[in-house]
Amino acid sequence: MDVNMTYATQDMWTWWLAIYLYFGGLGAATLAVTFLTDMYLKPNRALVIWGAGAGVVLLALGSLMLFGHLLDKTAVLTILNPMAMLDQSTAWIAWGTQFIIWMMVWGVLYALPYVRETEFPRKVPGIRDLIDKPFVIGTAKLVQSFHRSVGWLAVINGVGVAVYTGLLLQSFPAVALWHNPAVPLLFTVSAFSTAMAFLLVLMYTLLHDQADEHVRVLYERIDLVLIAAELVILFSLYQYLKNGSESGVRSMELLWNDYGWLIGFIGFGLIVPFLLELKGVMRGWASRVPILTAAVLVLAGGYLLRHYFMYAGVYAYPW
Amino acid sequence: MTHYAMVIDLNTCVGCNACMAACAMENQTPVWDKNKWRTYVHDKEIGLGSDVQRRFFPRLCNHCDNPPCMTVCPTGATQKKANGIVFVDQDLCMGCGACAMACPYHARVPVTRRDMREGREFYGSDYRRSSPSMDKCSFCDHLVEQGRKPACVETCVGSSRMFGDLDDPNDPVAQMVASGAARALMPHIGTRPNVYYIDDIRWRG
C-alpha cells in the first residue's frame, strides 16, 4: 500500500506564521530578559519600558498575523476565555494565547510605575491623560508594592510564549522536522538569542549609557552561549534527520541544500555573529560596530530559522 | 458500543470518482477547488516502459482513535463521537488551520467565505453552511444516524468502499480488519486510524 509515497510540503502556514513565531519569541524573551535584569541585576527604567513596549508591540503584530488568516475571526472569542486552556489542554494555541494575553497584562502593569515616572509619555496627549487618572495612579502604587511578584508573572508568561512557539510546531506528528524534542528547545534558545541581540542593538544605539556597560557585556556573553547552544541543537537535529524517516531526510535535503538556510541562517545568522561576539568577549572590540553587526545578523537569522522551518516540513502521503 | 470504520478495497476501485461526486453533493463541498474535496481519488501511473499500471487510491479522513487534529484544535471545534466519528462543529471553528497541519492524511481543508459565496450560487437555496471553517469528512454521520451508510459507500459501483462496525464480530468490515487483509495507513504515526485498505495485488508479482 505504501509503496507509492508522495512527499509534499504545505502551503497552509507559510511566511506569516513564521513572523508570528518570530515576533512571539523575540517579544516575549525581550520582555522576560529586561524584567529579570531590572529585578536582579540593575534597576533600569528605560530598559523595562523598552522591554515591555517591544513585548506588547511585537506580540500584537505577531498575533495580528495569525488573526488575519483565521477563517472565522469572531470564533476567536472562544480562546480568549482563560478556561479554553483547561478545556483544550492539549492544544498549544489555547495555551499560547493565554500566555500572550497575560504576558501583555503583567508586562504593562510591571512597567506602569516606570512609565508614570518617565517624561516622554507625558508629552503624548492620550497617554498623559490616561496615566494621571486616579485609577491608574492607584494601580501603579499597588503594583509598586508587589513589583517583583508582578515581574515574575510577566516573566513566566513570557517564557511560556517563547517555549510555546516551538511546542506548537512540535505537536504536528506527520512531519519529522517539526515533531521532535529539539524544536521547542531550538525555538526557545533562538528566542532568547534574538532578544539579547535586540537589546544589544538598543543599548548600543538608543539607550547608550556608559553605566550599563556590564549589562551589555553580560548580554553579549549570554548571547554567545545561546548561539553555541543553537549550533549544537542544529547539529543534533541534522543527525536526527539524515537517518530516520523519509520525511526527515527530505526536510534535511531541502534545508541543507538551500543557500538561504546554509549560508544565510547558519553562516551569517549564527557562525559569523558567534565569531564576532567571541572576539568581543575574548579580546574586545575597539568599536561597537562589530557587535552591532553581530546582533543585526542574529535578528535576521532568527527569522530565517522560522521561515525555512515552515517551508521545509515534508508530509509523506501513501498515495 | 459501535465503532465505525471503513474498508477500501483497492482491487475493485475503478476510478469512476462517483464517491467524490456523491460526497460533494451530499455534503455541499467546494467542488470548484479540487483541493477542498472531502474525499479524493488519486489516479497514478505506476511502472516502467510498457509495464505501467493505473492505480486509484481513494483518500478521506481516517477518523482516528487518537486524532492529532482534535488534539491541536484550540477551540474544541474538532470532536469525536462515542461511535468513533470525528467531526467539526462549524460554529466553534475559527479556522486557524492547526488541524490541517497536524493531519497526516491531508484530510482537513479550509472552506472560506469566498467558498461560501460560490456555494450559495452552486448549491442554491439548499446551501446549509452558515460559517467558514476547516472542513472534513464526517462519515456522513447524518446518514449513519438514519441507519444508512456514507454517501461514498452507497454510491460505490465496485463495492470498493465498505462501511461497518468494528465492535460487531459478524460485520464483514470487522472481519476484514481482524484478519489483517485490511490495513491502516501509516500506523507508526500513532493516530490509530479507522479507514483500512486492502492492497491491490495486480502488480505485486
CATH code: domain of residue B98: 3.30.70.20
Q: What is the pLDDT of residues B153-189, one digit of tens each?
A: 999 999 999 999 999 999 999 999 999 999 999 999 9
Residues A142-154 have a mean pLDDT of 95
Rounded Cα distance, B51 and B47, in Å: 6
Q: What is the pLDDT of residue B46?
A: 82
> What's the confidence (pLDDT) of residue B47?
80
Structural domain boundaries enclosing A138: 6-317
B-chain CB neighbours of A99 within 8 Å are none
Please indicate whether, in this complex, the C-beta atoms of A91 and B73 are within 8 angstroms of each other.
Answer: yes
- Expressed as residue numbers, the domain containing B101 is 4-198
Which of A42-46, A182-186, A208-212 is predicted least confidently?
Answer: A208-212
Q: Dmax over Cα atoms in chain B, in whole Å?
A: 52
Which pLDDT score is estimated for B143? 97
pLDDT score, position B201: 65
How many structural domains comprise chain A? 1
Using an 8 Å Cβ cutoff, are A22 and A62 in contact? yes
pLDDT band at A131 (very low <50, low <70, confident <90, very high): confident
Mean of the per-residue pLDDT values for chain B?
Answer: 94
Degrees to nearest 5, angle at CA A273 with A270 and A279: 135
Residue found by looking up cell 517583583 in the block: A148
pLDDT for the residue A2: 52
Look at residues A90, A89, A100, A91 and name the one whose alpha carbon lies nearest to residue A67: A100
According to DSSP H, which parts of chain A are helical? 15-36, 45-68, 77-80, 83-87, 92-117, 120-123, 125-131, 134-145, 147-170, 182-204, 213-242, 246-256, 259, 272-282, 289-312
The complex's ipTM works out to 0.93
Cell numbers placing A129: 491623560
Q: Does A50 fall in a domain?
A: yes
Domains identified in chain B, total number: 1
Of A13, A78, A318, Cβ closest to residue B94: A78
Helix (H) or strand (E) holding B120: helix B113-123
Place of cell 541543537: A233
- In sequence order, the β-bridge partners of residue B165 are B4
What's residue B133's pLDDT?
97
Q: How far is B164 from chain A (nearest CA, A)?
A: 21
**How far apart, in whole angstroms, are the C-alpha atoms of residue A150 and residue A202?**
24
Residue A1 forms part of a structural domain: no
Instruction: Report pLDDT for A72.
Output: 96
Residues of A in contact with B197 (CB under 8 A): 1
Average pLDDT rounded to a whole number, residues A126-154? 91
B80 shares contact with chain A (CB less than 8 Å): no
Does residue B92 sit at the A interface (CB-CB below 8 Å)? Answer: yes
Say what the pLDDT of residue A1 is: 60
- Residue B12 inside a domain? The answer is yes
Using 50, 70 and 90 to split pLDDT, how confident is the model at A3? low
Within-domain flag for B172? yes
| Average pLDDT of the segment spanning B120-135 | 95
Tell me, what CATH number does A34's domain have?
1.20.1630.10
**pLDDT tier for residue B202 given thresholds of 50, 70 and 90:** low
User: Tens digit of pLDDT for each residue in A14-55?
Assistant: 999 999 999 999 999 999 999 999 999 999 999 999 999 999
B205, pLDDT greater than 70 = no
Interface of B with A in 141-180 (CB under 8 A): none
Distance of CA B205 to the CA centre of its chain: 30
